[in-house]
Amino acid sequence: MSVLVDRETRLVVTGITGREGTFHATNNKRYGTQVVAGVTPGKGGQEVEGIPVFNTVQESVDKAGANTAMIFVPPRFAADSILEAADAGVRLIIAITEGIPAHDELRVYTQLRRNPDVRLVGPNCPGILSPGKASVGIIPASFFRQGNVGVVSRSGTLTYQIGNELAQRGFGNSSIVGIGGDPVPGSSFIDIIELFEQDPETEIIVMSGEIGGSAEEEAAEYIAANVTKPVVAYIAGFTAPPGKTMGHAGAIVSGTAGTARAKQEALEAKGVRVGRTPTETAEIAMEILGAK
């Protein structure tokens, strides 16, 4: 088992004819993901590396049976592309695009929330990897192998770093889910932790957070109330000075709330162990798995 993407995933890639879209769609396909379609308006009927291209997401659903969409269009078109995928009946939408206007994200989130059957992961996320089954997005899949650690992270490269630390210690992953660091992520830590809790393959959950917002604090409450599996956390941004933007819009620190320290304390208060570095985080996970 794993969460969200697996051998049943039938992926449509919007923006497939762009340079990056082609590169990563091809990578995902090569990994073994069923990439059944691409969408680029006006290029319907073409093919990209053997993947048929359609004019609309609706066509990719009707004709190629797509059930998952990866959004790879430029930021100004991404909200429209996500709404199109949802309208076409796609149940899981994974938005890689970085730099989507925050108000676009807000509109999309508010609209999608009205349909509980549709799940958005991202935007501004590296995607989802279920090692040995399917890779959707830009996670360098060859570094990870199948196992029992579920990883959920707001940061792309930090996800790889932590996954890699685990891999070097011999641990594999059920799934690695990047939820993105944008102001309005489609899925929260809680949403993904809930899935890992239900996933039989996952034995331990590693969550990687960062400064800004309150998603980690909310996850702490949720974990204490609902999660039976061990959770280990990492928080980036202890060194960030207050009031400075650190690249993610999600990383605006306002006052004390949202600091790395506040998040660490909130998690530890609920019994979640927090590693001080990616390495220490991996070591704690290892220790817990060893102790089981």
Partner 1 sequence: MDLLEYQGKQLFARHGIPVPSGKPAKTVDEAVAAADEIGYPCVVKAQVLIGGRGKAGGVKIAKDRAEATRHATDILGMDIKGFTVHEVWIEGASQIAEEYYASIVFDRSAKAPLVMLSTRGGMDIEAVAEEDPTAIARLHVDPLLGFQDFHGRKLAFAANIPADLVRPVGAMLTKLYAAFEAEEAMLIEVNPLIVTPERDVKALDAKVTLDGNSLFRHPENAELRDPSAEDPQEQMAHERGLTYVKLDGDIGILGNGAGLVMSTLDVVAQAGGAPANFLDAGGGSKADAIVSAVEVILSNEKVRAVLFNIFGGITRCDEVAKGLIEAFDIVKPEVPFVVRLDGTNDVEGRKLLADANLPNVATATTMNEAAEKVVELAKTGVAA
Residues 23-82 that bind partner 1 (CB under 8 A): 24, 41-42, 44, 55-59, 75-77, 80-81
Q: What is the largest CA-CA distance in the chain?
A: 57
The tokens for 260 are 């790395």
Give the interface segment with partner 1, choosing from 157-165, 198-206, 221-229, 283-291 (CB under 8 A). 157-165
Give the interface segment with partner 1, choosing from 28-36, 62-70, 152-160, 221-229 (CB under 8 A). 152-160
User: Catalytic: which of 16, 248, 250, 278?
Assistant: 248
Residue 53 · residue 38 · CB < 8 Å? yes
Residue 219 · residue 190 · CB < 8 Å? yes
3-state class of 135 per DSSP?
strand
The tokens for 186 are 């489609």
Closer of 39 and 201 to partner 1 (Cβ):
39
Give the residues across from 93 on adjacent strands: 69, 120
Give the interface segment with partner 1, choosing from 107-115, 199-207, 225-233, 263-271 (CB under 8 A). 107-115
CB of 128 to partner 1, least distance (A): 13
Closer of 35 and 211 to partner 1 (Cβ):
211
Nearest Cα residue to 268 out of 246, 244, 284: 284
Residue 190 labeled ligand binder: no
d(CA 207, CA 231): 7
Binding of residue 250 to partner 1 (CB under 8 A): yes
Determine which residue in the list 30, 115, 245, 271 makes contact with partner 1, applying CB under 8 A. Answer: 245
Binding of residue 194 to partner 1 (CB under 8 A): no
Rg (the chain; Cα; Å)? 18
Closer of 68 and 153 to partner 1 (Cβ):
153
Question: What's CA 99's distance to the chain center, in Å?
Answer: 16
What part of residues 161-180 is at the interface with partner 1 (CB under 8 A)? 161, 164
According to DSSP, the β-strands at 204-210 and 231-236 are parallel
Determine which residue in the list 15, 18, 38, 181 makes contact with partner 1, applying CB under 8 A. Answer: 181
Residue 278 · residue 232 · CB < 8 Å? no
CB of 31 to partner 1, least distance (A): 13
Closer of 103 and 198 to partner 1 (Cβ):
103
Determine which residue in the list 61, 93, 118, 138 makes contact with partner 1, applying CB under 8 A. Answer: 138
Residue 128 labeled ligand binder: no
Nearest Cα residue to 205 out of 176, 246, 168, 243: 176
Is 248 designated active site? yes
CB neighbours of residue 80 within 10 Å: 14
Closer of 133 and 154 to partner 1 (Cβ):
154
d(CA 150, CA 147): 8
Give the interface segment with partner 1, choosing from 29-37, 96-104, 219-227, 266-274 (CB under 8 A). 96-104
By annotation, the residues acting in catalysis are: 248
